[in-house]
Every structure is written in C-alpha cells, then in structure tokens.
Amino acid sequence: MNYKDIATPLRTKMLLDKYGFSFKKSLGQNFLVDTNVINNIISASGITEKSGIIEIGPGMGSLTEQLAKRAKKVLAFEIDQRLIPILEDTMSPYDNVTVINEDILKADVKAAIETHLSDCEEILVVANLPYYITTPILMGLLEQHLPIKSYVVMMQKEVGDRLSAVPSTKSYGSLSIAVQYYTTVEKVMVVPKGVFMPPPNVDSLVVKLTTLPHPAVQVEDEALFFKLTRSAFVQRRKTILNNYMSVIKESKLYKEDIIKWLEESGVEPNRRGESLSLNEFAELSNNFKHFNTLSI
C-alpha cells in the first residue's frame, strides 16, 4: 500500500491532525481509507484519459487523487468550506482537478460541465455519496437529463439494494422505478463499514448506473408518471386502489372512474403498488388523461 495515498488510515490521520479537522455528523462525513476499494471503484467506472469526472463530496481527496491520475479532468463539488484548504493541499500535484465549494443540490451542474468538462469525450460520475442525501442527489442529476454516460457511486447498502430491486420484493419502490426508468443498474461490490474513518453504522454498496439512450418505457408525461409511482407506495400494505383514493382529488366522487382507469390499464384494483412493473406504471400514466374527471 502506497504510504503517500490519502486513502490510508495513517495519511488520513496525519491530515486530520495537521488541519485540526473534526467530522460533522450532519454532513454524513465518512472518509474512505482503503486503496483496494478505491481501485475497484476506478476499475468499474472504466475511466480513460479522455474522461471528464464529476465527484460529489470529495472529503480530503482520497478518491479524487486516484481519479486525477487516470482521467482528463475531475470536477469535484464539496459543500464543507473547511475541506477546501485541505483539498488545495492534497490536490496541489494535479492541475486537472477543479474543486467547487457548493452544494450539489443547488449547483448548476449543466453550466459547470460546459465550463470545466466541455473538452472531455465522456462525462462520468464517480463518487462516495453523502448517505443522508443520496436519493436527492441521484434523482436531481438523472431528472436534468445531463450528458452523463454512467454513475459509479457508493451509498448505504439498503439504498443501493433498492435501486436494482424487482417487483414484489421488499426493496422495490418508487426509487427503483425512477432509477430503472433512466438507467441500467449493476451491483459492483459490498463495502464493509470498517474501511471508513469514522466507520458508519451500516455497510455500503457500490453500484454502476449506465444511462439509457432513451427511457426504459415511453410515457407522455414524465411528471405525472413519477407522481403516480410515488403515490402507489404511500402506504405499502394498502392496495393500489386505496393508495390512489388517498391522493386523487375528490376520489370518493370518482371512485368508479378510478377503478375503470385501473382495469382498462390492465391493473387489478386490489393489487399492491409493489407488484407493478415499470411497464404497468407507464400504462397507468398514459391512460390517466383519458379520464378527465381525475386529477392528482
């Protein structure tokens, strides 16, 4: 193991001591201190010297430096102002790294790509995502239809399991549907909690999401499609009819229309949302407009 690598317990501790850095629980800060895990992440991402990389939450740069050695350019978003001087220090050997001190959820990522990565052949996201906002980050990027070829991201194992879940399983839900609408999902590796400083309370999972050239199903109204999928899981134990009765306006008045809409879409009203496939939700969404008494 190379002593100079940031992703070692010794070097990480030296940096923590040098800068008097203390972890903020509210920012979900857990720094990776295992070069083998980083090498596996790099390998799964398929980086070349023509790749432009977006990293979210670089911390002290343990993954960033390995990305910088292989990619054309690295654009890292770091929310914690206290880490900026540390990153300026650790990334000083690399002139292809740009660190933006900004919240990724508020940043204009499209403009940042155009400014910093426009001369790269492909854009990849490679990151150890902050666990407390993994879903908003992923969905925020996917919904913007950015020119991102793939995502190799580490997250809490439970969330990672949901991304690739299939119908009629415990992990399957609106997040599974949303991610599989935009991408193909592949599990890369389980990461034990002991390879982080400080260790999180849960194991992690690295997943690879490859952006589809077109969404997995054709829907006429994306916003409605996602609204209907989320609504089907409001209460998992309830039937899809009961869940939609709780969100469709004046549903008691139009119950027969709701039943007819479900049945004409090929969905039995007594089924649960977790049993419906991506195609079935697309059918429900595309048929909704035919029932002009219904609004959600």
Q: Mark whether 60 and 207 lie in a shared domain.
A: yes
Q: Is the pLDDT of residue 155 over 50?
A: yes
Residue 88 assigned to a binding site = no
Q: What is the mean pLDDT of residues 275-288?
A: 97
What does the block give as tokens for 43? Answer: 């390998």
Using a pLDDT cut of 90, give the percent of the chain over it. 91
Residue 57 assigned to a binding site = yes
| DSSP bridge partners of 199 | none
Residue 161 lies in a domain: yes
Query: What per-residue confidence (pLDDT) applies to 37?
Result: 95
Instruction: Spell out the residues 6+ positions from residue 200 whose beta carbon is closer than 8 angstroms to its own.
Output: 30, 131, 156, 193
Q: What is the mean pLDDT of residues 115-135?
A: 95
Residue 255 lies in a domain: yes
Mean pLDDT rounded to a whole number for the chain: 95
Q: Mark whether 155 and 235 lie in a shared domain.
A: no
Query: What per-residue confidence (pLDDT) applies to 2?
Result: 44
Q: Which sign, positive or negative, has the C-alpha torsion 186, 191, 196, 198?
A: positive
H, E, C per residue of the chain: CCCCCCCCHHHHHHHHHHHCCCCCHHHCCCEECCHHHHHHHHHHHCCCCCEEEEEECCCCCHHHHHHHHHCCEEEEECCCHHHHHHHHHHCCCCCCEEEECCCCCCCCHHHHHHHHCCCCCEEEEEEECCHHHHHHHHHHHHHCCCCCCEEEEEEEHHHHHHHCCCCCCCCCCHHHHHHHHHEEEEEEEEECHHHEECCCCCCEEEEEEEECCCCCCCCCCHHHHHHHHHHCCCCCCCEHHHHHHCCCCCCCCCHHHHHHHHHHCCCCCCCEHHHCCHHHHHHHHHHHCCCCCCCC
Q: What is the mean pLDDT of residues 55-68?
A: 96
Confidence of residue 4 (pLDDT cuts 50, 70, 90): confident
Q: Mark whether 50 and 79 lie in a shared domain.
A: yes
Q: What is the mean pLDDT of residues 174-189?
A: 97
Residue 273's CATH number: 1.10.8.100
Instruction: Spell out the residues 6+ positions from residue 24 whose beta carbon is closer than 8 angstroms to its own.
Output: 80
Domain boundary among 166, 181, 211: 211
Using a pLDDT cut of 70, give the percent of the chain over it. 99
Residue 27 lies in a domain: yes
Burial of 184 from C-beta contacts in 10 A (0-12 / 13-18 / 19+)? middle
Residue 128 assigned to a binding site = yes
Q: What is d(CA 247, CA 250) in angstroms, rounded to the nearest whole number? A: 9
Residue 295 lies in a domain: no
Q: Mark whether 13 and 99 lie in a shared domain.
A: yes
Residue 32 assigned to a binding site = yes
In this structure, the dihedral spanned by the alpha carbons of residues 156, 87, 47 and 2, taken in order and rounded to 10 degrees, is -90
Burial of 284 from C-beta contacts in 10 A (0-12 / 13-18 / 19+)? buried
Residue 276 assigned to a binding site = no
* Model pTM score: 0.92
Q: Is the pLDDT of residue 26 over 90?
A: no
Residue 296 lies in a domain: no
Query: What per-residue confidence (pLDDT) applies to 10?
Result: 92
Calculate the CA 101 to chain-centre distance: 20
Q: Mark whether 236 and 194 lie in a shared domain.
A: no
Confidence of residue 186 (pLDDT cuts 50, 70, 90): very high
Residue 192 lies in a domain: yes
Confidence of residue 1 (pLDDT cuts 50, 70, 90): very low
**Domain around 280:** 222-288
Number of domains in the chain: 2
Q: Mark whether 119 and 68 lie in a shared domain.
A: yes
Residue 1 lies in a domain: no
Q: Is the pLDDT of residue 216 over 90?
A: yes
